[in-house]
Structure formats: C-alpha cells, structure tokens
Amino acid sequence: MPGSTVAIALAIVTSLTNWEKQATLARERILKGASSTDNRSVRCKTEYKHMEVLPEAEKEEEKKKWAVTRRAFVQELKKVNFLAAPLARVTVFQLLLPTVSTMMVGHLGKLSLASITIATSLTNVTGFTPLFGFACALETLSGQAYGAEQYQKIGTYTYSAMFFCIAICLPISVLWIFMDKILMLLHQNPQISVEARNYAIWLIPALFGYAIIRSLCHNL
C-alpha cells in the first residue's frame, strides 16, 4: 500500500510536468551564468538561437510528445512502482521491528513494557539514528565517484564508512552497558532502569550489524 501510494504520486508529478518548459528555463540559467569569453557559452547561445527558430510544426510535435495520455500515465506508474514498492516494503518491515518487540514484551507485564519502551527510545537516539546520519554521507561521495567514473573510490568510501561506523559503535555500546546508571541519574525508577539496561545490552550485536547494512544501503 505505501509503495503504491508513492508510485502514484511520483507518476502524477512526472506526467504533469512540462519538461519542455523546464528545459528552456535550464538553458536560460546556464546561458545567464556563463562567461561571455567562454567558447562553450558561445556555442550554447548559437544552439539556443537555432532552437528558437524551430518551425511551429516541430514545436507542436514536441508538445504532443509530452502530452498526458492514459497509456503514458500507466507506463510511468509501472516504472515508478517497480522501484518504489520494494523500498517501501523494506522500510515498513524495518519500522515494524521495535513495534513487534514491544507487542511481545507487553505480555510480560507493566515493568517489562515500560523498560523496553524507554530502552527503545534511548537506543534509537543514541545509537541507530547517529549511525544512519553518518552513513548518509556515502550518498554524496559515492554519487560523485560514480559520476566521475572513479569506481574504485566507491569501494574505498564504503569500507571506510563501515570501519568508521563500527568504531563509533564501541563507545555507544559502553554507553548502553551503563544505561541504568544514566537513567537513575535522571531520576527514573531503578527497576525500570535495570531492565532497560538489560534490553539495551541485547541490542548491541544489532548495532554493529546496523552499521554495516546502513553503509551498504546508502552506497546503492
């Protein structure tokens, strides 16, 4: 369901966008910012003037080419849904992990439920979210390396991100081991603090696995 919704929205935007107008605006921005002494700028201006004198018939054909039709809309919808649906499903299953844990522990009693709730919140803020942010840097670096056809750097960036994130996991793990002390300093219930610490300790292996999988996912 989420994948279909995203696909429909992107298909509508793609179909209704006037790409001819956007291309014209982009050419105008390029020509405006280019240097008057640059030979490439002169060639762009020449080509742009040539495009302005296109016959009206060709302009009409271009408009018809980008006209919204039912067949074009369905094709765009299929393409976007092919990419968006798997991503949406994976994201939903990842977000369901703490929900399923909370539902299962809820049958053990109020103490366990309160402990896992506070532990999940703290582990997300102090562990998983920072790793997600560090791994996001790969999207920019790997994209630049791929565009420059420096494919060897993509692997270098990926391994560097893995080692960096794993190194960050070490102090985070120590923080989780002493989570009960931190919660008690914040005037939390001692029993809840101890149970939250125990749950956080069991999450430490998942923290290292998350560091690796985030580095791989953001490199794709």
- Domain check: are 115 and 211 in the same one? yes
Same domain, 63 and 119: no
Query: Mean pLDDT, to the nearest integer, of 202-219?
Result: 86
Q: Is 85 inside a domain boundary?
A: no
Is the domain of 113 the same as that of 189? Answer: yes
What is the number of domains present in the chain?
A: 2
Reported in sequence order, the residue ranges of the chain that DSSP labels E, i.e. its strands, are none
Q: Are residues 59 and 133 in the same domain?
A: no
CB atoms within 10 A of CB 215: 24
Of 44, 70, 96, the last residue of a domain is 70
Mean pLDDT for the chain?
77
Residue 123 shares a structural domain with residue 210: yes
33 and 125 in a common domain = no
Q: Does the pLDDT of residue 176 top 90, yes or no?
A: yes
On whether both 115 and 213 belong to a single domain, the answer is yes
Does 120 lie in the same domain as 66?
no
Q: Which two tokens stand for residue 75?
A: 């094709």
In a domain? residue 192: yes
Domain assignment present for residue 213? The answer is yes
pLDDT band at 96 (very low <50, low <70, confident <90, very high): confident
Domain extent at residue 192:
109-217
Final residue in a domain of this structure, among 70, 96, 122: 70
The answer on 142 and 55 residing in a single domain is no
pLDDT at 201: 92
Tokens of 71: 């067949």
pLDDT in tens, 110-157: 888 888 888 988 998 999 989 888 888 888 888 888 888 888 888 888
Q: Is residue 103 part of a domain?
A: no
pTM (2 d.p.): 0.60
Per-residue pLDDT at 40: 54
Residue 199 within a domain: yes
Query: pLDDT digits over 10-41, tens only?
Result: 556 555 566 566 667 766 766 665 554 455 55
| pLDDT value of position 197 | 92
In a domain, 20, yes or no: yes
On whether both 147 and 213 belong to a single domain, the answer is: yes
DSSP helix/strand/coil, 37: coil
Question: Same domain, yes or no, for 47 and 139?
Answer: no
- The region of weakest confidence among 63-72, 88-97, 175-184 is 63-72
User: Based on the domain organization, do 50 and 115 belong to the same domain?
Assistant: no
DSSP 108-157: G-HHHHHHHHHHHHHHIIIIIHHHHHHHHHHHHHHHHHHHTT-HHHHHHH
